[in-house]
Amino acid sequence: MEFSKTWNSSKKPKKQKLYRYNAPLHIKQGLVSVHLSKELRKEHGKRAMQLRKGDKIKILRGQYKGKTGLVEDVDLKREKITIEGIYVTKKDGTKTFYRIHPSNIMIIEMKLEDKMRQKIIERKKKGK
């Protein structure tokens, strides 16, 4: 099934999942937005930002709740994030990255070297 450009919303979870699954990457980039910590909210005047590699995050849900680490990889296709230092040990003894959904994490420290991210923050400050 193709991605629908005219789709607005639906109460049916099946249609919501299908929309997210078939969305192009430029729309999926917006779906990996993550909440900011209270300090960052006050500092930048934003509630959430898109996640980038190198951001320091805190896990809020799941078996690794309370752990912090750096973002290793942002997988837009699966809408999952891998975190440095957080691994799952498989039955055969090998370790693999623990993939987590962006809704279950919070940004503690942002990597501000990104020019596009700096523009977003400046644009928000000009509006105030």
How many whole angstroms separate alpha carbon 76 and alpha carbon 117?
Answer: 18
Contact between residue 46 and residue 36 where contact means Cβ atoms under 8 Å apart: yes
3 in any annotated domain: no
pLDDT-based confidence at residue 8 (cuts at 50, 70, 90): confident
How many whole angstroms separate alpha carbon 12 and alpha carbon 71?
Answer: 32
Given a cut of 90, is residue 7 above it in pLDDT?
no
Structural domain count, the chain: 1
Domain extent at residue 77: 34-127
13 in any annotated domain: no
Given a cut of 70, is residue 128 above it in pLDDT?
no
Q: What is the pTM of this model?
A: 0.85
Given a cut of 70, is residue 100 above it in pLDDT?
yes
Which of 60 and 31 is assigned the larger pLDDT? 60
9 in any annotated domain: no
Average pLDDT of the residues in 72-86 = 94
Among 68, 65, 63, which residue's Cα sits nearest to residue 107?
A: 68
Q: Which amino acid is at 87?
A: Y
pLDDT-based confidence at residue 1 (cuts at 50, 70, 90): low
14 in any annotated domain: no
18 in any annotated domain: no
Q: What is the CATH number of the domain that holds 113?
A: 2.30.30.30
High-pLDDT (> 70) share of the chain, %: 98
39 in any annotated domain: yes
Q: How many CA atoms lie within 13 A of 51 on its CB side?
A: 32
94 in any annotated domain: yes
pLDDT score of 125: 79
53 in any annotated domain: yes
pLDDT-based confidence at residue 120 (cuts at 50, 70, 90): confident
